[in-house]
Copies of this chain bind each other. A is one copy, B any other.
């Protein structure tokens, strides 16, 4: 039997458009000789459709499209179609895989394990399935499963999350082929997880595995595709393209033969990040109906990397750089930003913020001159925010915010200032990774895209004379690991200190993270790269106490806070 796997990029909620794309891939698959064409989890609606699922009209429309548009396809030629979609039975909604064959719904396979952690909240929408049945595909008994359903193996995971393992049931029924429809978002390390777990299952159950994943950027989540095929020896037969659509074929006989060649395991190199961010930018911009973007260019590394990624995603003609020096900007900031813009071949404008800054000071400072406090630092950033938004509103550019994860974590950023924008491209990239990515971008382009001085000079917000990030923050090679332990690993301050970091520093960092949650809750959506991203995967209260982390008598208030913003506003 020949199966076509359609790794497509649907747009959330664009039901007709997605149906059209499904039809197109189905026809291609049939032309390619497939007896069955498969689409990933919720590929009709795109994943995650979120509260669109609470609208009965949305569910009805899905049902109607399946009935009117997709079912008839399978009548004409007798080739089956397996699609991921929501499915209502009575008052219960299921996350389902529906097999369409000869103009009829041949069977429905519903998702049993509903992830409800990190970025997932499927318990909000779906009911857990309790029924499991194998499907005969020609003479091959198949376990048709959806994403999480295969991630609960008690021999692989020391502590499985769920009490049920659908695979145990399905293989007890005699399954020989595993087809898994996934919508598995990318994060660093995800490839490795998949490529360790799947061959384990292949060997354990002596089964062929077809793992089909969605591709595309949907708000903060980036789906990488990278679909996988294993034979029953756990040998990798095929790895589909990462970060783009692809149609590929599997002849099921091959799933039970030794691999012709051995593919090396997938790796999450720095280039994966580049590709992920590129797709994330392109899809967010285009799926929102924009074509061009603008961003502030400070001469620093963050905006340089974001500009370079935007050019890769959208083309240099669709990127506008804005240089907005303040009275405290260094000379090299304009030089470096100009060099970058020229290297990238993008348009740029120079708009000095000195005049509006002075006008505000006239209005707000008794002595009409700068007093150089935090408020004035923020004011400069907010004037820039006004300018980029003005140009966005007037000329139709989407604004890219350029802050990195390290500064967002400690609140070293200005709400409505440098945080302003439609998409925060590197909001989930720690500063050290930004450096790595900058080097990598220069390397793969075979020339200096990001100016050397931009990479070498000490990071600075340039909001007061001689300011450096390290005046307010620990050096990034210390800050970033502490943030990783606190945010991704959920270690306490005490745990992190035990790992050899200085007590004062750890407590200062943790304090800054906790007290600046209010900023992150008003941040632009960020593209997810790590295993724990702000906003999409981390939910924290704003008004809260902190006393449990401090020994009695120790006043938390004595900590320094980040310099670009007052502690809680």
Contact = CB atoms under 8 A, between A and B. Distances in A.
6 contacts: A11-B544, A52-B541, A219-B542, A284-B542, A287-B544, A364-B390
Contacts of A290: 568-569
Contacts of A117: 124
Contact of A375 (B17, B390, B522): B390
Interface of A: 11-18, 46, 48-52, 54-58, 61, 91, 116-117, 121, 123-124, 159, 217-219, 283-284, 287-290, 351-352, 355-356, 359-360, 362-364, 373-375, 378-379, 382-383, 385-387, 389-394, 396-399, 415-416, 420, 422, 490-492, 494-495, 518, 521-525, 538-549, 552, 565-569
Contacts of A124: 116-117, 121, 539
Given A56-B492, A382-B389, A569-B393, A351 B375 contact: no
B16 A548 contact: yes
Contacts of A399: 569
Contacts of A543: 11-12, 217-219, 283-284, 287-288
B50 A540 contact: yes
B544 A14 contact: yes
A17 B11 CA distance: 48
| The 8 nearest A-B residue pairs measured at CB | A14-B545, A57-B492, A287-B543, A375-B394, A375-B393, A416-B416, A13-B544, A123-B123
Nearest to A422: B569
Contacts of A538: 51
Given A124-B116, A124-B121, A288-B543, A362 B351 contact: no
A541 B382 contact: no
Nearest to A397: B569
A494 to B, nearest CB: 7
Given A288-B542, A393-B378, A495-B57, A15 B547 contact: yes
Contacts of A356: 356, 359-360, 363
B15 A548 contact: yes
For A48, A391, A490, the residue with the greatest tally of chain B CB atoms inside 10 Å of its CB is A490
Contacts of A56: 490, 492
B393 A50 contact: no
Contact of A116 (B116, B394, B490, B518): B116
A393 B374 contact: yes
A397 B523 CA distance: 21
Given A356-B363, A543-B218, A393 B121 contact: no
Contacts of A389: 378, 382, 415-416, 569
Given A356-B359, A547-B16, A569-B399, A540 B51 contact: yes
A526 B497 CA distance: 37
